[in-house]
Amino acid sequence: MTVLPFERRAVPAAAGPSDLTREQVATLLAPINPSRVQNLRGQSHLEAWDVRRWLNRVFGFGGWADETLELACVAQVEINPGRWTVIYRAQVRLTVKTTDGRLLTTYDDAAMGDSRNQPALGDAHDQAMKTALSQALKRCAHNLGDAFGLSLYNDGSRQAVGLWSAAHPAPKDEDTPAVPDDAPVKPEPAPAGDQPATVEQDAPTPQVRRGRRAEPGPWERQPAPAQQAGPSRDFLAEARKASSRQQFDAVRAAAVAEGAPEHYLADLDGIAAEREQGKQPAKKAAARRPAAKKAPAKKAAAPKQAPPASGRPEHEVAVADVLSVGQSLGLTREQVEEIVRAETGSTLAEAGTEQLVAVVADLRAATTEVAA
């Protein structure tokens, strides 16, 4: 009896671009769905859970893995009694495999993550670690193209920048499945008392400075596309209707908390300045009216303190700056009032403009020290 040798087909140990399937290539070359894009502090970004979902969609369950190469606590600061800010640094490696389990490629990247003004030290560490790891993974994944947010580094654009690859001719037949049209992505819930997680600092670029080729961002003055998320309230209209400075400060603080860019806040401050200037003509007219003759009176003693400077537009802007910086540090208005009183000896409304400018500089210096 003749015995035929058993035929063995050796599986290549290494894999390359040609080992990606047609469906994988089509998904990676497609532009990102705008409903997946989030806006935080004027920057476009993807949620970490959404990136993991798309890694599963493109490469399959078990077709990718992330490895933590480094996780270190950079800073732990008690900014107020019982309130903590923690910063972590993480380095992550993303490994991608072919559908038959062979190694396709790896990407390494690093990121910083913080958790600000937390009442519990454990929660501050937990949130800062997760933020750093998530940001590092997202930075690794953007090397895989537009499906993982590469176009957002092009000034926040949703238009595809990959478009084609010489190693991966884009399929043109009708059998190619379309990229799923998902519902809008919602951000992950943050712990109680937490501030929004920090977005990558090297990219994407803040949307207030955009190139001609990029579509308008949700905070720009032009009407934004329907699929993009914009401000939840018309803060400009609310500022115009505010009947007092306290109401205006509350509107401005809400805009800061929602991530309004600098030019939007400048528009709000301009509304306050215009209203103050509108009051000036009436005051000047009243000053020009001839005063009624009065009986001679004794010379009044000189006032001990200068009158409040709240009638000047520059003073109102300085007050708004103090509140805005305090809001970014997680301080309440009462805490800001205490800081101003401790540094100037006056209330927020009575302190001079130059004194308030100095307080703003001190608060910003405190923010820089925490970040360092």
pLDDT for position 309: 42
Tell me the three-class secondary structure of 145-197, residue by residue. Answer: CHHHCHHHHCCCCCCCCCCCECCECCCCCCCCCCCCCCCCCCCCCCCCCCCCC
Confidence of residue 33 (pLDDT cuts 50, 70, 90): confident
Top mean-pLDDT range of 19-28, 52-61, 173-182, 239-248? 52-61
All residues at 6 or more sequence positions from 41 whose CB lies less than 8 Å from its CB, including other chains:
196, 199, 206, 259
Task: Render pLDDT for 36-60 as a digit per residue (tens, 0 to 9).
Answer: 888 777 778 888 999 999 999 999 9
Position with higher pLDDT, 211 vs 331 = 331
Contact (Cβ atoms closer than 8 angstroms) between residue 152 and residue 217: no
Contact (Cβ atoms closer than 8 angstroms) between residue 157 and residue 137: no
Task: Render pLDDT for 97-145 as a digit per residue (tens, 0 to 9).
Answer: 999 999 999 999 999 999 999 999 999 999 999 999 999 999 999 999 8
